[in-house]
A = this chain, B = another copy of it.
Amino acid sequence: MKRMGAWIKDPQKAEVSFRVFAYDKPEVNLVVQLTDQVILFPMTEERPHVYTATVTGLGLDLLYKYRLANDKDFPDPYSHFQPFGVHGFSQVVNHQTYTWHDQNWPGRDLEEMVIYELHVGTFTSEGTFRAAAAKLDYLLELGVNTLELMPLAQTPGRWNWGYDGVFLFSVNHNYGNPDDLKYLIDQCHQKGLAVLLDVVYNHLGPEGNYLPEFGPYFTYKHETPWGAAVNYDDAFCEFTRQMVLDNVTHWIENYHFDGLRLDAVHAILDDSEPHILQEISQTVKKLAAQQGRRLVVIAETDENNVKLINPIDQGGYGIDAQWMDDFHHCIHTVLTGESDGYYLDYGRIKDFEKVFKNYLYTGEYSRFLKKNRGTDASTNPGKQFVVATQNHDQVGNRAQGERLSQLVEFPYLKAAAGLVLISPYLPLIFMGEEYAEKNPFLFFTDFTDPDLKDAVVKGRQKEFQRFSWGEAPNPQDPATFYRSKLTPRTDWEAQNKFMFAFYRDLLALRRTHPVLRVLDKFNLEVKVQEELRLITVRRWRENRELIALFNLGQGNQPLPYPGTHLLNSEWPVYGGSVVGESQILTPGNLIILERG
Contacts and interface: CB of A to CB of B under 8 A. Distances in A.
Interface string A284-326: 0000000000000000000101010010011110000000000
Interface string A369-383: 111101100000000
Contacts of A372: 238, 272
Contacts of A305: 273
Interface string A354-375: 0000000000010001111011
Nearest to A219: B223
Contact of A235 (B234, B266, B369): B369
Residue of A236, A316, A370 contacting most chain B CB atoms (<10 Å): A370
A355 B73 CA distance: 47
A233 interface: yes
Contacts of A369: 235
Nearest to A236: B370
A375 B223 contact: no
A492 interface: no
A181 to B, nearest CB: 34
A374 B221 CA distance: 18
A84 interface: no
Given A269-B271, A273-B307, A273-B375, 15 more contacts: A220-B223, A221-B222, A221-B223, A222-B222, A234-B371, A235-B369, A235-B370, A237-B371, A238-B371, A272-B371, A273-B303, A273-B374, A274-B375, A314-B315, A315-B316
A303 B273 CA distance: 9
Interface residues of A, number: 31
Contacts of A233: 371
Interface string A208-223: 0000000000001111
Contacts of A266: 271
Contacts of A307: 273, 315
Nearest to A269: B271
Interface in A362-413: 365, 369-372, 374-375
21 contacts: A220-B223, A221-B223, A222-B222, A223-B223, A233-B371, A236-B370, A238-B371, A238-B372, A266-B271, A269-B271, A272-B371, A272-B372, A273-B305, A273-B307, A273-B374, A274-B375, A307-B315, A310-B315, A313-B314, A314-B315, A315-B316
Contacts of A374: 273
A371 B276 CA distance: 13
Contacts of A310: 315
A480 B223 CA distance: 39
A233 to B, nearest CB: 7
Contacts of A238: 365, 371-372
A105 to B, nearest CB: 35
A161 B110 CA distance: 56
A266 B271 CA distance: 9
B273 A371 contact: no
A219 to B, nearest CB: 9
Contacts of A274: 375
A371 B372 CA distance: 34
Nearest to A370: B235
> What are the 4 closest A-B residue pairs judged by CB atoms, nearest first?
A315-B315, A235-B370, A273-B375, A237-B371
Nearest to A317: B315
A260 B235 CA distance: 32
